[in-house]
């Protein structure tokens, strides 16, 4: 029936949206992780410079 078809399509689209949302969250998390890794690397470099100065 048309109603069943519409309900199926709505459920499919809802599932697709959930997957898209999860994918978007994963992409955001990866970007945040990259930023944090860069920040950690900069802090490491700063600490290495400080250590050299203290020697």
Give, in order, the Cα–Cα distances in Å from 19 to each of 5, 23, 25, 26, 32.
21, 6, 10, 10, 20
If one counts the domains in the chain, the total is 1
Instruction: Show the tokens assigned to 40.
Output: 């950690």
Q: In whole angstroms, what is the distance from residue 7 CA to residue 22 CA?
A: 22
Does the model's pTM come out above 0.75? no
- Rounded Cα–Cα distance for residues 8 and 15 (Å): 11
Structural Rg of the chain based on CA atoms: 24
Give the position of tokens 């709505």: 10
| Domain range for 11 | 1-55
pLDDT in tens, 4-53: 888 887 787 777 777 778 888 888 889 889 888 988 999 999 999 999 99
């Amino acid at each position: 029936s048309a109603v069943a078809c519409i309900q199926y399509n709505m459920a499919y689209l809802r599932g697709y949206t959930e997957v898209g949302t999860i994918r978007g969250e994963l992409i955001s998390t990866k970007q945040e992780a990259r930023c944090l890794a860069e920040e950690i690397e900069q802090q490491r470099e700063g600490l290495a410079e400080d250590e050299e100065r203290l020697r």
